[in-house]
Amino acid sequence: MRTFTALAAAASLISAASAITLLEKRHGTAPRVVQHEIQRKTVDNPIARDRARLRKRQSKTVQENLDNEETLYFMNATVGTPAQDLRLHIDTGSSDLWVNVANSQLCSSKGNACGASGTYAPNSSSTYQYINSNFNITYVDGSGSSGDYVSDKVQFGGVTLENQQIGIGYNSTSAEGIIGIGYPINEVATQYNGGNPYPNVPLHLMQNGDINSNAYSLWLNDLDASTGSILFGGVNTDKFSGELQTLPIIREQGYYAEFIIALTGVGANGTAGSIASNLATPALLDSGSSLMYLPNNIVQTIYNDVGAQYDSSQGAAFVNCNLAKSTATLDFTFSSPTIRVAMSELVIVAGYDSHNQPLCIIGISPVDGGTPVLGDTFIRSAYIVYDMTNNEISIAQTRFNSTTDNILEITNTTGVPSATAVANAVTSVAVSSGGARIGSGPTSVTSSAWALPTAAIGYDVALLGALGAGLAFAL
């Protein structure tokens, strides 16, 4: 199979101390918010990684060995006493904070696999406390992490969470520590070990009095930016244009468990619903997935319109790299608000061919019967407020590369400031059961046929250069 030279993307780290901003309200009192800059980091093979972590309701996995690098988003934190530095992947699609240890088989392997994200040494911390050995997070392909649940001091954003419950990955197949910031009901302890939910990081911040409401805002910035921000307990009105519009989170079997909202239309170039209308399909807002995963028929239409060639051996659709210069957009409607995603945010350089010419993919893949996922190729274009207190999502078009701030606090009485509830929003769609992207254990899944055009493995830049002729989008 073909492999590509990895595309290196700069993502400079900043210290946890310099990443903090506590801003003043105009009337002079300090809002109860915690703002932390987040860093973008490249990761090998985003499609393989996403497929490994998609929800257990998905019916297949796709074999691929694409060696391109795409982005994940991290925040700096410390764990323990004295403080041990870690860089944690921010994941709205899961709910546990977990870290690796240096002597695990993965982290101790040749090449220092866990060096970039850091590791945790529990016995070196005077505030470490053992809870149980029930931590065991497993994704659909059997990858994941297992070990102990413990408690320890966690610090970031100028705040300290004493006795925060975390997982320790003594056995792990992921080099990245993760901070899951979803609903506590979706924690591994609750989903698969029969335990009770514990206060995960967002809830603990509220209980600790650092924020007033169990809510946070996410601003990833554009594909070229190395940093964005996460704002616990508030919104930053300088980071979006227009107004925030509020949508209900969809319940699953009577429970609020994941950040699923109703996707009602997909269009292009400002024409809402021109690709698909009256959808009422669930869509998971998941910062832990690099790409978008949409219903197959919608993906097929998009591929046809942009001249994408799907390569089943890579699990990716290749496009002419010049598509990134297009003024075309894909437009996603949620009852009322529409988020426009520019082609420059969707076209990703996957690597280079033997002639050092770039090879590009489009950041959209088929979900093939599972629940659609709106990952980072969508989230970068949206400013999103995740409100677990009121079980709502507020969303607006992002403002890329904003350098100013206007922080407003979210309270349990006022809700999300400057947000307007969507009238007659879709509140119910069919959602298959499952816990985030977590599986209940190693699962045997097989690839099923999918009728997209399959590009020949041996194509080169000449073929890519020919793609896009007669596109429906204006290039």
Q: State the amino acid at position 272 in one-letter form.
A: A
What stretches of 263-374 show up as alpha helix (H) in DSSP? 296-306, 343-346
* Nearest CA-CA partner of 234 in 92, 42, 414, 10: 414
CA distance 350 to 311: 13
Q: State the amino acid at position 195 in one-letter form.
A: G
What residues pair up with 252 in beta bridges, in sequence order? 255
Q: Are strands 240-248 and 419-421 parallel, antiparallel or unpaired?
A: parallel
CA distance 395 to 217: 10
Q: State the amino acid at position 333 in one-letter form.
A: T
- At 376, give phi and psi (nearest 5°): -65, -30
Kindly name the residue from 91, 152, 311, 331 that is annotated as catalytic: 91
Edge-to-edge, what's the strand order for the sheet holding 260-263?
A: 260-263, 281-285, 373-374, 292-294, 364-366
CB 45 within 8 A of CB 7: no
286 is catalytic: yes
91 is catalytic: yes
Q: What is the DSSP string of 96-134?
A: -EEEE-TTSTTTTSTT-TTTTT----GGG-TT-EEEEEE
Q: Is the dihedral of CA 90, 76, 102, 163 positive or negative?
A: negative
Edge-to-edge, what's the strand order for the sheet holding 309-311?
A: 309-311, 316-319, 358-362, 347-352
CB 308 within 8 A of CB 471: no
Q: Which residues of 152-174 are buried (b: 16+ CB within 10 A; e: fewer)?
A: bbbbbbebebeebbbbbbbebbb
Longest CA pairwise span in the chain (Å): 65
Q: Is 13 exposed, middle or buried (0-12, 13-18, 19+ CB in 10 A)?
A: middle
Kindly name the residue from 96, 141, 286, 376 that is annotated as catalytic: 286
CB 382 within 8 A of CB 220: no
Which amino acids are annotated catalytic? 91, 286
